């Protein structure tokens, strides 16, 4: 493996690790449940993305042909991260978890507890 490739891969891996770390750091630094959700859902997509690009380039350069199933991990991540965040936020609203700002209209939450299943997005 030549030196250019090695440097490129190292940069990608370090950047990826950095973003993933900052995303997780958000859990400790941010101040309420709802803002904490933002860190891991957004801060990590680029982090994991960089790691996966690095993995894809590395395995493609090993001579076994193009390695693309990393794309799938990215895809699944993009689908699952927002859904878990949505569900966490929704249950937090339902349980009236404390927030820095006033919680939205109680009416929405109350109506929500009565609605039929399969009516919402999840």
Partner 1 sequence: MQRLLPHPLLTIILAIIWLLLSNSIALGQAALGLLLGWAIPFFALQFWPDKLKVHKPLTLLKFSYILLHDIVEANFIVALRILGKPEKLRPAFIVVPIDLNSDFGMSILANTSCLTPGSLSALLAPDRKSILMHAMDVEDVDAFIHTVKTRYEKPLKEIFEE
Which residues sit at the interface with partner 1, rule CB under 8 A? 19, 22-23, 25-26, 29-32, 34-35, 37-39, 41-43, 45-47, 65, 67-69, 71-72, 75, 78-79, 81-83, 85-86, 89-90, 93, 99-105, 108-109, 111-112, 115, 119-121
Shortest distance, CB of residue 14 to partner 1, whole angstroms? Answer: 14
Measured from the CB atom, the residue of 5 and 25 that comes closer to partner 1 is: 25
| Nearest CA among 45, 42, 43, 51 for reference residue 17 | 51
Distance CA 50, CA 16 (A): 5
Cα–Cα separations (whole angstroms), residue 95 to 13, 25, 31, 48, 82: 39, 25, 18, 31, 20
Q: How far is the CB of 8 from partner 1 (least distance, A)?
A: 18
User: Which pairs from 99-108 meet CB under 8 Å and 24+ separation?
Assistant: 99/32, 99/33, 99/34, 100/31, 100/32, 100/35
Task: Identify which of residues 4 and 117 has a Cβ nearer to partner 1 in the complex.
Answer: 117
The least distance separating partner 1 from the CB of residue 4, rounded to whole angstroms, comes to 23
Smallest gap from Cβ 3 to partner 1, in A, equals 27
């Amino acid at each position: 493996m030549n030196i250019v490739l090695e440097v490129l891969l190292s940069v990608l891996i370090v950047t990826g690790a950095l973003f993933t770390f900052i995303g997780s750091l958000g859990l400790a630094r941010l101040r309420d449940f709802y803002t904490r959700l933002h860190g891991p859902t957004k801060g990590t997509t680029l982090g994991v993305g960089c790691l996966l690009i690095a993995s894809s380039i590395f395995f493609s350069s090993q001579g076994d042909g193009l390695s693309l199933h990393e794309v799938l991990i990215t895809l699944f991540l993009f689908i699952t991260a927002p859904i878990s965040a949505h569900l966490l936020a929704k249950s937090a609203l339902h349980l009236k978890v404390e927030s820095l700002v006033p919680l939205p209209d109680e009416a929405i939450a109350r109506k929500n507890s009565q609605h039929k299943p399969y009516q919402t997005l999840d």
